[in-house]
Amino acid sequence: MPDSIVVRGGRVLDTTGERTVDVLIEGPVIAAVGDGLRGDRELDASGCVITPGLVDLHVHLREPGHEEAETIETGARAAALGGFSAIVAMPNTEPPHDDPAVVAAVLGAGTRSVCDVHAAGCITNRRAGTELAPMGELYALGVRIFTDDGACVDSAGVMRRALEYAGSLPGAVVAQHAEDTTLCTGGHMHEGEWSSRLGIPGRPAVAEAAIVARDCLLAELTGTRVHFLHVSTASAVELIRDAKHRGLPITAEAAPHHFTLTDAACASFDPVFKVHPPLRSADDVTAIKAGLADGTIDAIATDHAPHAVETKERPFEEAPPGMLGLETALALALTELVEPGVVSLADAVGLLSWRPARIAGLSDHGGPIEPGRCAHLCVIDPTVTWSPDPARLASRARNTPYEGRTLTGRARHTIVSGEAVVVDGEAQR
């Protein structure tokens, strides 16, 4: 019988509401919730909020292929430090997740890591956008999210077939990187005032909106769920809001950098601010926040994209797109959304936990925190202030755009399947 853990003195917050109680964990499950519980080991949660473990629908773990930037082990550790108990690994590895053997290897490495690692599968072979990947075989391994992320499925015909096909796989969702390639070719930042001033070729907002509009129509035609990855523009938010009002099976996520940074940051020419879709205008940031506040956007997902230091030392136009997110997402949501009153704490946790858990079909995750449930918990200290230091990140990469920014709130303890993998902000393995 493994040691039991009691999480003491915190305020529990889940889909059922809030109450101040202790949580007793025995083995991988929650054994009891109540006052005065006793366990072999105590984790102090006074002044803290105990929530279901956070769930990130969108991480790049780089293994296989670019282990110099991140591995499943280091990415999972970064996730746990960020309060996440489950993450979904995007398929743009080398080789990509278009092969059951690759997905099986990723999932196998995931079982040895400190949080639950799920794998998204490719929509098309080699993410080339032409022929369907073996979605059924990948589904049999547990894949529920299919995406060519990093590449948009540009062909309406291929997207339609993918949706029709995925419709035969219960719980499957097709996730689109909505940026029309023909409108973005050669582009490296948001097209607008700053791209014009800086002479950096742009990626226009309409490239996102055009694909979102089209795929809403295809979701309506096929009845298959479509999830929009990293929504970044006001026009896309508006289209998704309308589609949801019409009852279409649409969900959407937003990345922290799209509600905390604007394209003006690119004026430094530092490629740490280069990401696809790009940092947008201040109006877009406002619209993303509004979409998070009114439920149009269902989840905060990091699009954690590690890159080796030397690749981000190239000039802006030659550096790869992407930025780290796992270790800063919770703090950014608390600092930029909860503190200014854009969303409530409960809604922020919903965006980071139970709503993404539902999208990914992760029934063990997202709570509620009650006896018999899997013990995936995040204990948040909502008042601690800190500042991201690239040198101290658990990620193998260093490309955080938030160096030196003052943030409020952080995961203090993270418990995954009953194991305290992060205690007082320190990874335990």
Please tell me the count of residues contacting another protein according to CB under 8 A.
23
Given the DSSP bridges, would you call strands 299-300 and 202-203 parallel, antiparallel or unpaired? unpaired
Token pair belonging to 424:
């007082």
361 binds another protein (CB under 8 A): no
Closer residue to another protein in complex, CB, 112/269: 269
Asked if residue 170 lies in contact with residue 201, where contact means CB atoms within 8 angstroms, the answer is no
Candidates 88-96, 155-163, 262-270, 410-418: pick the segment binding another protein (CB under 8 A).
262-270
In this structure, the strands spanning 377-386 and 49-52 are antiparallel
Q: CB-wise, 19 or 197, nearer to another protein?
A: 197
**Is 322 in contact with 69 (CB distance < 8 Å)?**
no
Q: Does 313 engage in binding with another protein (CB under 8 A)?
A: yes
Residue 268 near another protein by CB under 8 A:
yes
- Nearer residue to another protein within complex by CB, 187 or 409: 187
Among 98, 180, 303, 364, the active-site one is 303
* 273 is an interface residue for another protein by CB under 8 A: no
193 binds another protein (CB under 8 A): yes
Query: Is residue 318 a contact residue for another protein (CB under 8 A)?
Result: yes
Q: What DSSP line would sit under 300-311, residue for residue?
A: E---B----GGG
- Candidate list 41, 108, 246, 269; residue touching another protein; CB under 8 A: 269
Q: Is residue 315 a contact point for another protein (CB under 8 A)?
A: yes
DSSP assignment string, 238-277? HHHHHHHHTT--EEEEE-THHHH--GGGGGG--GGG--SS
**Going edge to edge, which strands form the sheet with 426-427?**
17-20, 11-14, 49-52, 377-386, 407-416, 419-423, 426-427
Q: Are 323 and 315 in contact (CB under 8 A)?
A: no
Known active-site residue 364 = no
- Contacting another protein (CB under 8 A), which of 24, 102, 151, 200? 200
Least distance to another protein, CB of residue 198, Å: 6
Identity of the residue, 294 or 313, whose beta carbon is nearer to another protein in the bound complex: 313
HSE, side-chain direction, 13 A CA sphere, residue 61? 35
Instruction: Note whether 240 and 291 are within 8 A (CB).
Output: yes
Among the listed residues 82, 83, 202, 278, the single contact to another protein using CB under 8 A: 202
Mark the segment that binds another protein (CB under 8 A) among 148-156, 164-172, 191-199, 338-346.
Answer: 191-199
Rounded CA separation 320/313 (Å): 10
19 lies in the site for another protein, by CB under 8 A: no
Nearest-angstrom CA–CA distance, 106 and 97: 9
Stretch that binds another protein, among 119-127, 208-216, 314-322, 370-378 (CB under 8 A): 314-322
Out of 52, 192, 277, 388, point to the residue binding another protein (CB under 8 A).
192
Kindly report the length of the chain: 429
Q: Catalog residues that contact another protein under the rule CB under 8 A.
A: 191-202, 204, 268-270, 310, 313-318
Catalytic center residues: 303
